[in-house]
Amino acid sequence: MGEMERLDGFCDVPHRRFNPLRGEWLLVSPHRGKRPWNGDVSKEDSEVKPAYDPKCYLCPGNARAGGEIVNPKYESTFVFKNDFSALFDDGTPQTSVEFADGLFRVQGVKGECRVICFSPRHDLTLPKMSVEEIRGVVDLWASQTEELSQKYRWVQIFENKGQEMGCSSPHPHGQIWASSSLPNEALKEDENQKEFFKKHGRTLLSTYVEEECRQETRIVTQNEDWLVLVPFWAVWPYETLLLPKFDVQRISELSTTQRDTLAQILKEFLGTYDSLFDVSFPYSMGWHGAPGNAADGVDNAHWTLHAHFYPPLFRSAKVKKHMVGYEMLGEPQRDITPEQAADRLRALALALK
Ligand code: H2U
Ligand code: ZN
């Protein structure tokens, strides 16, 4: 029996799907996706942004929040230590405390938080930048990971984009939080990939890529090195996973051509996101790669580098999915199936080619 036929009976009825990376289930209710599309397709308030905003904390030459530090007149990318860091690199206890049968546990943690401006231009976003400019961001993600992984076990690169995600500034920027311990998501992915590798002798995500290339139903777009798909276990309506078609564990280990093709697919598929509801598409995105660094002697053969994109929008630029109610108390739930979401995104990606 083919893979798709095995799923046939489930297509139109409620079912649960398993996320092997996180080791968690979600509820899919496809019949609810067939509710009429009372399409609010209104655009976002199309306020035109200036290329330079004298009030922006991130624009070149401007004073940052607090007023003491002034940004240099940077011309491409710019990294600085977060003025309101969530982690400190020294001065905090690095011990653990546990009492009352483990009901109370505290662990010391140290780390560093940085902000990365993607461009000096206040009015741009990643998909509005050129492939060459995005390539500069890829290099920065890689060099920051390389540097911080010498000191910290986990380097989390991420971008909160859009007011819907609580992003504090429209200036194109992302963040890096590096920490001495693995955060929850990293720990779950590490354990689940390790388990799969032990059992099957190959990586979870390379096996998944092979299978998705066979089935094709969830692929949004691809080039010679990279694949964008709506994962079988996606929770957010238009959630995607960006995966390499080759074996790589960390972003810092990408070759020159793999960085080129990454910049190309980012430009293309983030443009597709923008065209979905005709709006600068909000999301939280981030990279997950093997903890530590290549020289630390830890075997991370089970890891595959990948990026998650979690966009909150559902039916239009205005209608957002909320993770509330059943999702807080039971488990995440989605209406349109990952396959339906992939169909829409793929059609848009093709139209833009
Ligand atoms: P968002 O990516 O969610 O918008 O957060 C921006 C970060 O930038 C936030 O962590 C930092 C905030 O602490 N920031 C500074 O470090 N200095 C500033 O002058 C403005 C914002
Ligand atoms: Zn700005």
Secondary structure (DSSP) of 91-158: SS---EEEETTTTEEEE---EEEEEEES-S-TT--GGGS-HHHHHHHHHHHHHHHHHHTTT-SEEEEE
CA distance 319 to 314: 6
Residues lining ligand 1, Cβ inside 6 A: 57, 64-65, 82-84, 115, 160, 166-169, 173, 175
What is the chain's pLDDT, residue by residue, as a tens digit (353 residues)?
566 678 888 888 999 999 999 999 999 999 876 665 544 455 555 678 999 999 999 999 999 998 899 999 999 999 999 999 999 999 999 999 999 999 999 999 999 999 999 999 999 999 999 999 999 999 999 999 999 999 999 999 999 999 888 888 999 999 999 999 999 999 999 999 999 999 999 999 999 999 999 999 999 999 999 999 999 999 999 999 999 999 999 999 999 999 999 999 999 999 999 999 999 999 999 999 999 998 999 999 999 999 999 999 988 888 889 999 999 999 999 999 999 999 999 999 999 98
173 belongs to the catalytic site: yes
Ligand number with the minimum distance to the CA of 162: 1
Phi, psi of 218 (to 5 degrees): -115, 5
**Greatest CA span in the chain, whole angstroms?**
66
Centre of ligand 2 from the C-alpha of residue 139, in Å: 21
Instruction: Note whether 256 and 325 are within 8 A (CB).
Output: no
Q: Give the separation between CA 248 and CA 201, rounded to whole angstroms.
A: 16
Pocket test for ligand 1, best of 69, 81, 82 (most atoms within 8 A of CB): 82
Which of 334, 301, 165 has its CA nearest to residue 233? 334
User: What's the 82 CA to ligand 1 centre distance in angstroms?
Assistant: 6
What is the model's pTM?
Answer: 0.95
CA dihedral of residues 148, 151, 156, 162 (deg, nearest 10): -50
Which of the residues 171, 173, 302, 306 is marked catalytic?
A: 173
